[in-house]
Chains A and B, each alone.
Chain A
């Protein structure tokens, strides 16, 4: 099992693997926002939680269609489906490697980018916590969307359309936790909802993704 994870991470950091694409997009977005809305720190610090969360979500979305598409095109997915590794495990590992290459770097970079948006320092902890808890759900939902569209050429647009509505609860509770944290209000409830979404995704989506893959390989 660990072999698949190791291979995916290796492929991600080698040439053309797309590691850093999401992170670069996130960086560009956050750097551009102050130019767009003006340098007034009051406005920036108010919108910072929302911008950071929307940025993280869009960066996740950017690399979704690669999760299964490359393996499908070169025939690896067929071979994986005949291997002793259950497809449920393969889908979980794919989601995990997607998170390790996008969600985790975003979580680590976010506090530094928060400074650019003059986010209040009390919110930093909440930002990191909410991203760490919420982005795994984004990767798992995205893996499910990618599994549904795996046979389609240029399925990227369809994945985005399928997955965006499913991303909404994560975005709402994630941004809410940070903005409450920034105002010094208790934010645990939003964070708990976020954790519940992630736990639910982890429990259900590997099976849904594997079923979608089996259907598409027929």
Chain B
């Protein structure tokens, strides 16, 4: 699904982090966000997911179409893998967990409690949830953290399949996933200049100088 933003400004807390972000992503295409730590990748993704409303600019799509995967895994330790997946499948109204289990080979882990999984397995489970959302735009924040090479390949295959089916994706990642139709966007130029209190402020001068 085609999506894009126009002149977007987003903030984190009270601070405006990004200004003037503009991009377009075609159906079947992935956009990879690059930028040093703290450059606003997470802020942009949270804005696209509809968690923080934009300060200015427009989102040229509905946030209802975005499936967001954050840093945090969002798993319930006391529930089994199958229960965790079933919960999200029911919330998103897709009800069938089979595609997720298949794509990330979770079949052998279904009855295990999430608290007994390794960090990489938790990550896999958390990523497999994307398949259950039935949404066309995947917004992923550092999806490959704690995945080994084999599972990175599995994850890349899942994204490739999603793109081939006409979906699209935007991801913040530092490694090369080898996606067929991926563009890279460096977001450092959009960084808002952090403004301190103006130095000629008369009140500040009187009080502190």
Which of A's residues lie within 8 Å of B, judged by CB? 2-4, 7, 10-11, 14-17, 74-76, 78-85, 217-218
Given contacts A80-B91, A82-B51, contact A75 B79 (CB under 8 A): no
Cβ distance B18 to chain A, nearest Cβ, rounded Å: 15
The answer to whether B68 touches A82, judged by C-beta atoms less than 8 angstroms apart, is: yes
The answer to whether B13 touches A84, judged by C-beta atoms less than 8 angstroms apart, is: no
Give A74 to B87 CA distance when docked, in angstroms: 15
The reply on B181 being an interface residue by CB < 8 A is no
Residue B74 contacts which of A10, A16, A76, A84 (CB distance < 8 angstroms)?
A76
Give A75 to B125 CA distance when docked, in angstroms: 14
The answer to whether B68 touches A7, judged by C-beta atoms less than 8 angstroms apart, is: no
Residue B91 contacts which of A3, A17, A74, A217 (CB distance < 8 angstroms)?
A3
Give A14 to B79 CA distance when docked, in angstroms: 9
The reply on B176 being an interface residue by CB < 8 A is no
Given contacts A81-B51, A84-B91, contact A74 B78 (CB under 8 A): no
- The A-B contact count (CB < 8 A) is 71
Residue A14 contacts which of B67, B75, B78, B91 (CB distance < 8 angstroms)?
B78
B-side interface size class: 20 to 34
Interface of chain B residues 141 through 158 with chain A (CB within 8 A): none
A-B contact list, 17 entries, CB within 8 Å? A2-B90, A3-B86, A7-B76, A10-B78, A14-B78, A15-B78, A16-B78, A74-B76, A75-B70, A76-B75, A78-B51, A79-B74, A80-B91, A82-B49, A82-B67, A84-B92, A218-B52
The answer to whether A75 touches B72, judged by C-beta atoms less than 8 angstroms apart, is: yes
* Contact partners of A15 in chain B: CB under 8 A: 78
A-B contact sample (19 more), CB < 8 A, given A75-B70, A78-B68, A80-B91: A3-B86, A3-B90, A7-B76, A7-B83, A14-B79, A74-B72, A74-B73, A74-B75, A78-B46, A79-B88, A82-B51, A82-B63, A82-B67, A82-B68, A83-B91, A84-B64, A84-B91, A217-B51, A218-B52
Give 10 closest A-B pairs by Cβ, nearest first: A75-B72, A3-B90, A75-B74, A14-B78, A76-B74, A79-B74, A218-B52, A82-B68, A7-B87, A83-B91
Cβ distance A165 to chain B, nearest Cβ, rounded Å: 29
Given contacts A82-B63, A83-B91, A84-B64, contact A7 B79 (CB under 8 A): yes
* Contact partners of A84 in chain B: CB under 8 A: 64, 91-93
The reply on B71 being an interface residue by CB < 8 A is yes
Which of B's residues lie within 8 Å of A, judged by CB? 13, 46, 49-53, 63-64, 66-68, 70-79, 83, 86-88, 90-93, 129
Give A145 to B182 CA distance when docked, in angstroms: 45
The answer to whether B73 touches A75, judged by C-beta atoms less than 8 angstroms apart, is: yes
Give A82 to B76 CA distance when docked, in angstroms: 18
Give B71's nearest chain A residue, CB to CB.
Answer: A75
Cβ distance A73 to chain B, nearest Cβ, rounded Å: 8
* Contact partners of B79 in chain A: CB under 8 A: 7, 10-11, 14
Given contacts A4-B91, A83-B91, contact A78 B78 (CB under 8 A): no
Cβ distance B116 to chain A, nearest Cβ, rounded Å: 13
Give A15 to B77 CA distance when docked, in angstroms: 10
The answer to whether A78 touches B74, judged by C-beta atoms less than 8 angstroms apart, is: yes
* Contact partners of A83 in chain B: CB under 8 A: 88, 91-92
* Contact partners of A79 in chain B: CB under 8 A: 68, 70, 74, 88, 129
* Contact partners of A16 in chain B: CB under 8 A: 78
Give B51's nearest chain A residue, CB to CB.
Answer: A217
The answer to whether B91 touches A82, judged by C-beta atoms less than 8 angstroms apart, is: no
Give A16 to B68 CA distance when docked, in angstroms: 29
Given contacts A10-B83, A82-B50, A82-B68, contact A76 B76 (CB under 8 A): yes
Cβ distance A78 to chain B, nearest Cβ, rounded Å: 5
The answer to whether B51 touches A218, judged by C-beta atoms less than 8 angstroms apart, is: yes
* Contact partners of A2 in chain B: CB under 8 A: 90
Cβ distance A93 to chain B, nearest Cβ, rounded Å: 11
Cβ distance B207 to chain A, nearest Cβ, rounded Å: 31
